Amino acid sequence: MAILTILQYPDKRLHTIAKPVPTVTAEIRQLVRDLAETMYAAPGIGLAATQVDVHQQVIVLDISTTQDQLQVFINPQIILSSGESECEEGCLSVPDVYEKVRRAERVTVRALNEQGKVFMLEAQGMLATCIQHEIDHLKGRVFVEYLSMLKQTRLKAKIKKQLRQLA
Ligand code: K1U
Ligand code: ZN
């Protein structure tokens, strides 16, 4: 297993659209293990392959406090969504930024598991928020893009300043 480097916003590679996985191979299962190890080490409750510069439709999640309930979604698709809720979100690609984002309250997802079998999952609350956040990554979208232009401009200026100070 390996801990992979997580791309940091505003890296342009975060806007790459991930391709569907044609077949769940041993390489994809290795990617799943590496994503899980990287997410647990961060620590985080989700990670999309896009965030480690791999542009295939693979995400991992674990919203448990015990870090023992890994959920794997390959080629995830939201086939039903309902309601609306506003939750505070964070992102391992945008450290130290937590902002409220409005999303669907409930989603039904269709995906492949690590064995390549189709499954469906109905999610609500934090799980639904996290699934939508990670699927956005696969579409090249970062959660800060839901914020007002003013907040995005301020955030970019803050990151530029931090990078200048590091250099
Ligand atoms: O996609 C990511 O970068 C992971 C992100 C997932 C997420 C969090 C909150 C709302 C929506 C999506 C994170 O894991 S940020 C870190 C975080 O929330 C956390 C870290 C340690 C313990 C508990 C939460
Ligand atoms: Zn994220």
More confident residue, 166 or 136: 136
pLDDT tier at 163 (50, 70, 90 boundaries)? confident
Identify whether the C-beta of residue 131 lies closer than 8 Å to the C-beta of residue 63.
Answer: no
44 Cα nearest atom in ligand 1: 14
- For 14, residues 6+ apart whose C-beta sits below 8 A from its C-beta are 7, 50, 51, 93, 137, 140, 142
Query: For 108-139, how does the pLDDT look when each residue is reduced to its tens digit (9 = 90+)?
Result: 999 999 999 999 999 999 999 999 999 999 99
Token readout for 161 is: 């300043």
Q: Give distance in angstroms: CA of 134 to centre of ligand 2.
A: 6
Distances (CA, A) of 128 to 5, 19, 49, 146, 152: 26, 22, 18, 17, 24
Supply the residue whose CA is at minimum distance from atom 10 of ligand 1. Answer: 89
Whether 122 is catalytic is no
Q: What is the CA radius of gyration of the chain?
A: 16
* 35-81 tens-digit pLDDT: 999 999 999 999 999 999 999 999 999 999 999 999 999 999 999 99
Ligand 1 center to residue 37 CA distance, Å? 14
The pLDDT of residue 1 is above 90: no
Report the share of the chain in percent with pLDDT over 90. Answer: 94
Shortest-distance atom of ligand 1 to CA 61: 6
The residue contributing the CA closest to ligand 1 atom 20 is: 44
Using an 8 Å Cβ cutoff, are 151 and 99 in contact?
Answer: yes
Q: Which of 27, 122, 134, 145 is catalytic?
A: 134
**Closest by alpha carbon to 14, among 136, 116, 150, 130?**
136
Q: Measured from the CB, is residue 46 less than 6 Å from ligand 1?
A: yes
C-beta of 38 in contact with ligand 1 (< 6 A): no
DSSP lists the bridge partners of residue 78 as 109
In the chain, where the domains are located: 12-166
* Total residue count of the chain as it appears in this document: 167
pLDDT at position 147 is 96
State how far the Cα of 108 lies from the Cα of 9, in Å rounded to an integer.
29
The CATH-assigned architecture of domain 12-166 is: Alpha-Beta Complex (3.90)
Nearby residues of 164 by Cβ (< 8 Å), 6 or more positions away: none
**Distance in angstroms (rounded) separating the CA atoms of residues 71 and 99:** 24
Residues 6+ apart with CB under 8 A from 83: 104, 105, 106
Asked whether 61 lines ligand 1 (CB < 6 A), one says no
